[in-house]
């Protein structure tokens, strides 16, 4: 990572910062010298984190599913520290419900948080990033849309739609604002309340995520990372043959 593409100061916003990966990301970014605003629905976990990180952390209670709440949260952050340089959309819910037990209301609630939350936060920070000429957005993603698990319809659909939203943001902004760098990052199965007991420690995954979030090279826009490794786009049969004949190899980028 070249020095000119490394973010070593400024303001990072992490949603879902009260626990799990969001908490670990907030701690890791603060330890890298950034001021971190952590957004969450519950005040107590954020206050605990504020006591641990002291002046480098700003607890902000807000509901990402509510655009008015997000607007107020970003105004609070900007008034305290200035406009955000980094946004990590981490907040999500994972209700385990059979599709026959879903209601229109329960399904919509998951969509409002997992998809709507990403949209609301992006729309809240983008005007200032555009005015400044640069910014960094990392959307926490999964492969749930590729292979939905049982009792996870709302989660799988909402996270899949969020991946499409990332691509749509890039389609609209990429050419006009190349220094606003946007990615999806898939941290893998984590040892968290939403994850699995044998999963990756969130503190370990946060090292990858923080490295990606503080890497502001325009060539990263649109690239997807799975844990610490770039997910390469599939090649056509013709391209595979050409690469074999010319000796070219696709080498994924690494975060560690």
38 three-state secondary structure: strand
Strands in 57-61's sheet, in edge-to-edge order, are: 57-61, 35-40, 11-15, 86-89, 135-140, 180-186, 224-226, 229-231
Euclidean distance between CA atoms 185 and 166, whole angstroms: 11
Backbone torsions φ then ψ of 194, nearest 5 degrees? -90, -10
Taking a C-beta distance cutoff of 8 angstroms, is the pair 208, 168 a contact?
no
Positions annotated as catalytic residues are 155
Taking a C-beta distance cutoff of 8 angstroms, is the pair 190, 144 a contact?
no
Euclidean distance between CA atoms 90 and 28, whole angstroms: 14
Taking a C-beta distance cutoff of 8 angstroms, is the pair 85, 135 a contact?
yes
7 three-state secondary structure: coil
Euclidean distance between CA atoms 55 and 231, whole angstroms: 37
């Amino acid at each position: 990572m070249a020095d000119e593409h490394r973010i070593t100061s400024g303001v990072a916003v992490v949603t879902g910062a009260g626990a799990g990966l969001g908490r670990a990301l907030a701690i890791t970014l603060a330890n890298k010298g950034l001021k971190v605003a952590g957004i969450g629905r519950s005040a107590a976990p954020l206050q605990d984190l504020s006591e641990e990180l002291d002046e480098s952390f700003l607890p902000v209670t807000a509901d990402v599913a509510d655009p008015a709440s997000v607007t107020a949260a970003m105004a609070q952050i900007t008034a305290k520290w200035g406009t955000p340089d980094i946004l990590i959309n981490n907040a999500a819910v994972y209700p385990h419900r059979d599709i026959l037990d879903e209601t229109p209301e329960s399904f919509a609630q998951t969509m409002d948080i997992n998809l709507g939350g990403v949209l609301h936060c992006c729309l809240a920070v983008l005007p200032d990033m555009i005015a400044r000429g640069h910014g960094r957005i990392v959307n926490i993603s999964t492969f749930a849309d590729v292979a939905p698990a049982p009792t996870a319809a709302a989660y799988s659909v909402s996270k899949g739609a969020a991946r499409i939203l990332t691509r749509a943001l890039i389609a609209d902004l990429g050419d006009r604002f190349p220094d606003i760098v946007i990615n999806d990052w898939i941290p893998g199965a984590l040892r968290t309340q939403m994850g699995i007991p044998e999963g990756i420690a969130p503190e370990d995954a946060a090292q990858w995520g923080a490295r990606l979030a503080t890497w502001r090279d325009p060539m990263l826009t649109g690239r997807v990372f799975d844990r610490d490794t770039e997910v390469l786009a599939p090649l056509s049969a013709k391209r595979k043959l050409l690469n074999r004949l010319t000796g070219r190899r696709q080498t994924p980028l690494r975060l560690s």
